[in-house]
Structure 1
């Protein structure tokens, strides 16, 4: 009873705190008021076991470094907190990109803080455990002129917001269900969006076999099923069950038994996953089964939107996702915009989902992933797959483009235009990853970028912006957004970066004693 009262009290306090957000918004264009303190807490508050599958996951806190570009407004102050200290050269790199603002002026309005904690605990939890750090953050924020943003919102982020008395521009954790696999399917049904046939949420492998058998019986021609943990992300937590290997069981009980036996040989999309481990997660997180979308030439597009504190829904972008893994389920990157054949349709479907979410009280970012299969007449069959109620792999490249060019997204054609009216395109990834990149420090990357002129050129508004630099040395992985005046140019810029990094790292191995600056001459 006491726990219930405390939970209700916390809920009521949070709702009251969130009312301040409306006073910090200038308009319906998702822009914060210029005179505002922004606390960035890029905590990946996700299932630890699933997050372990992502190499260098602690460095994904750097994904939100595009937020530093908000300092282009001379009255904005920003506090960026991370688990481990960021490389100074990475901060300088972003601040040098700011259009029209002296570096020193922006640097004075930026406070960088770190917990110096390499553990896999969520960053928000680390901050809550450090009262002196909490106090320092609180003292740096102006009452009633501050807002906290994060990667994803959970009860931990809500507790942190309450502790600091700062409103959280993110989803109310009470609404997290709508971003799960089961919650997504419910919203698709409510909105009348086409989506694959699937099951309700279950919490045991025996129940999973039962609902999978029922799905197979509804669709006897089904070739494959997708088993999804209810709270998986980026394709992690997905597994493929190939029904073609199970023959044609003659009864429901035989189907259930055949599927139950086949679970041990599931094709897992995440690294180093096993059935016993996955089985335990079903009991803890829940799972669904869904018909696998087959089809030659299929694509995996997404639409990204935003809900303001006033409840207004805005479509921000569409993308074609770049997927990998054994069965093409793992998110590797994206390209902007999505193909013209379904771009407008994505916007319409995304708007319907956004309005449904807004009516439920959701705010901030949302994304909807689809599968697109070409029809014989040239049209596309779109099937909604899942909703993401957080910042994702398409958030930081689009916001980087927006801040760099001060441009705008046009709904009429689904393109983004710079202030000069030129359409802009990009290819982005968090996973430019090679073993021979290991050992490269952020300073080394800067040397390579400068020598080969790979950096973003403000005069042409083309080039590459890098992120996840902290993961290079240990994991050989870096993120990048390559921007061009056409999709072909963006792809060419991206591939040039790959070629240069491969050539430079091979050169380093052949001449290990020479400084990079000398080798580049």
Structure 2
């Protein structure tokens, strides 16, 4: 157990007191979103490098919060956005020109872009703290009594930055991040009676993992597969599948408990990892550092991987933001590729009910701002779905930026009675989104090249019809051939058609042989498929 000394406890208390000022300043969601505010955006991906290294192009993931620039549609908002290295000017221009009804020059005047000019692997928040003059410039630029800080994920780096600047951090405090781990998520689900797969508590070495796996098998003798998960993971990269079928001779009723534990331990090197570069030798070294769990693999002929997204406001109110059907890939369908909004109407209201339970429990524990809950939904027939919760995310996730892009562009509203989002004109809106449109032929495209293609083929978002595509992760394009996009339509089919038009145009513009290879080609945004315990 980690213990804190008196000085550290004082800093924790000071941080929490600073967060409480958010509650005093913003009494309601409406005031919070529309008041005169300075927003400090720190898109630091403060995650261990071992977790990040399997995400190609992660160096550019600081761009994922650029949807926040659309907050400038409120003429009373000022925004400071920091990055490790400077952003390409055309990327900034692209976002500012999306703002309806706001002169470009007015929005640009209220935006301050700062950079550490440091491309090292350290988290951005750490880089800022190491630069006293940069800290001083932020202090000079921001109105302390009207400011708050937003981040990608909250660690002690972000808490220290909050304290150094005397600006409250609008995010779950670092000491609450345990509830966003695999083991912590399972505890929350139990506490608020949300269905979830049978599994273990955290274990901290391979021997205990083998014992926990054997115990789970004995409780569930008919299991065919289990999922072994590092306690902290990103986009399903820390997951592995244990196939029990080759271990039939060690199954309950055929072998002793100790023989079963030994057989499982011997099978760990054969785990099927979701990250292509992962090995048991590396995976097992991570267990003493961050822990691991094992849980039952949810089987089913027709499965989906929906998610819920909510927000805990400074007042403690839990707001339902959205539901999605996630698009997963990888060896066993556990790697996040993209999403559709909203989730299927047959279970989206059930997702809202379960997600709200989780949010209220997190609010009781003092959490703030964004949280997500990932689920597995299995078709039981007769329009009935078995919903199992898999994981809580206490950070910005893959569904955060597409939904906030839609919300900030249209200034519309989410209707919890239907689970639909309506524009101010009363039209329901739908989208298909991805962080992972990646092809070798896209490499070498500069941001300006993409702008030319967008303009020539009219692929941009049209504020008149409120349909079209909004692009992100444009900094990944040249080196990695990787791009993110959110395609918005007035129907699910229109949104998907818009998405595929973008892909076809990019293929046409970048491949002389018109080779339409796509990361999604094997999945084609399936409505149903063999997905599993994504986290």
TM-score normalised by length of structure 2: 0.94
Q: Distance in 2 between matches of 1:3 and 1:290?
A: 32
Match of 1:464 in 2: 469
Select the residue among 271, 292, 299 that pairs with 1:287.
Answer: 292
Matched, 1:339 2:340: no
Residue 367 of structure 2: SS of its match in structure 1? Answer: coil
Match of 2:486 in 1: 481
Residue 31 of structure 1: SS of its match in structure 2? Answer: helix
How far residue 182 of structure 1 moved from its aligned partner, in angstroms, is: 0.5
Q: Distance in 1 between matches of 2:437 and 2:387?
A: 29
How far residue 396 of structure 1 moved from its aligned partner, in angstroms, is: 0.4
5+ long unaligned stretches in structure 1:
511-521
How far residue 34 of structure 1 moved from its aligned partner, in angstroms, is: 2.2
Matched, 1:499 2:525: no
How far residue 377 of structure 1 moved from its aligned partner, in angstroms, is: 2.1
Select the residue among 490, 497, 502 that pairs with 2:495.
Answer: 490
Q: Distance in 2 between matches of 1:490 and 1:32?
A: 27
5+ long unaligned stretches in structure 2:
516-535
Residues 305 and 327 of structure 2 are in contact (CA less than 8 Å); yes or no, is this contact kept in structure 1? Answer: yes
Match of 2:354 in 1: 349
Match of 2:532 in 1: none
How far residue 447 of structure 1 moved from its aligned partner, in angstroms, is: 0.4
Residues 30 and 306 of structure 1 are in contact (CA less than 8 Å); yes or no, is this contact kept in structure 2? Answer: no
Equivalent residues in 2 for 1:232-271, closer than 5 Å: 232-249=233-250, 250-271=255-276
Q: Distance in 2 between matches of 1:57 and 1:474?
A: 12
Q: Deviations over 1:74-95 (max 9, x none)?
A: 1111000001111100000000
Match of 2:213 in 1: 212
How far residue 24 of structure 1 moved from its aligned partner, in angstroms, is: 3.2
Match of 2:389 in 1: 384
Residues 70 and 403 of structure 1 are in contact (CA less than 8 Å); yes or no, is this contact kept in structure 2? Answer: yes
How far residue 227 of structure 1 moved from its aligned partner, in angstroms, is: 0.4
Equivalent residues in 2 for 1:62-141, closer than 5 Å: 62-141=63-142
Matched, 1:5 2:6: yes
Q: Distance in 1 between matches of 2:8 and 2:337?
A: 38
Structure 1 pair 2/345, CA: closer, same or farther in 2 (3 Å)? Answer: closer
Structure 1 pair 260/30, CA: closer, same or farther in 2 (3 Å)? Answer: farther
Structure 1 pair 255/427, CA: closer, same or farther in 2 (3 Å)? Answer: same
Q: Distance in 2 between matches of 1:263 and 1:2?
A: 33
Q: Distance in 2 between matches of 1:358 and 1:465?
A: 32
Q: Distance in 1 between matches of 2:30 and 2:353?
A: 18
Match of 1:439 in 2: 444
Structure 1 pair 30/316, CA: closer, same or farther in 2 (3 Å)? Answer: farther
Residues 340 and 432 of structure 2 are in contact (CA less than 8 Å); yes or no, is this contact kept in structure 1? Answer: yes
How far residue 505 of structure 1 moved from its aligned partner, in angstroms, is: 0.3
How far residue 248 of structure 1 moved from its aligned partner, in angstroms, is: 2.6
Match of 2:168 in 1: 167
Residues 298 and 374 of structure 1 are in contact (CA less than 8 Å); yes or no, is this contact kept in structure 2? Answer: yes
Residues 318 and 359 of structure 2 are in contact (CA less than 8 Å); yes or no, is this contact kept in structure 1? Answer: yes
Q: Distance in 1 between matches of 2:30 and 2:484?
A: 28
Q: Distance in 2 between matches of 1:460 and 1:467?
A: 21
Match of 1:58 in 2: 59
Residues 449 and 455 of structure 1 are in contact (CA less than 8 Å); yes or no, is this contact kept in structure 2? Answer: yes
How far residue 3 of structure 1 moved from its aligned partner, in angstroms, is: 6.3
Match of 1:516 in 2: none
Residues 508 and 514 of structure 2 are in contact (CA less than 8 Å); yes or no, is this contact kept in structure 1? Answer: no
Match of 1:519 in 2: none
Residue 39 of structure 2: SS of its match in structure 1? Answer: strand
Residue 340 of structure 1: SS of its match in structure 2? Answer: coil
Residue 49 of structure 1: SS of its match in structure 2? Answer: helix
How far residue 463 of structure 1 moved from its aligned partner, in angstroms, is: 0.4
RMSD value, Cα: 1.5
Match of 1:450 in 2: 455
Q: Distance in 2 between matches of 1:429 and 1:172?
A: 28
Q: Distance in 1 between matches of 2:144 and 2:300?
A: 55
Matched, 1:194 2:195: yes
How far residue 101 of structure 1 moved from its aligned partner, in angstroms, is: 0.5
Q: Distance in 1 between matches of 2:420 and 2:274?
A: 32
Structure 1 pair 159/480, CA: closer, same or farther in 2 (3 Å)? Answer: same
TM-score normalised by length of structure 1: 0.96
Q: Deviations over 1:81-122 (max 9, x none)?
A: 001111100000000000110000000010001111111111
Match of 2:367 in 1: 362
How far residue 379 of structure 1 moved from its aligned partner, in angstroms, is: 0.5
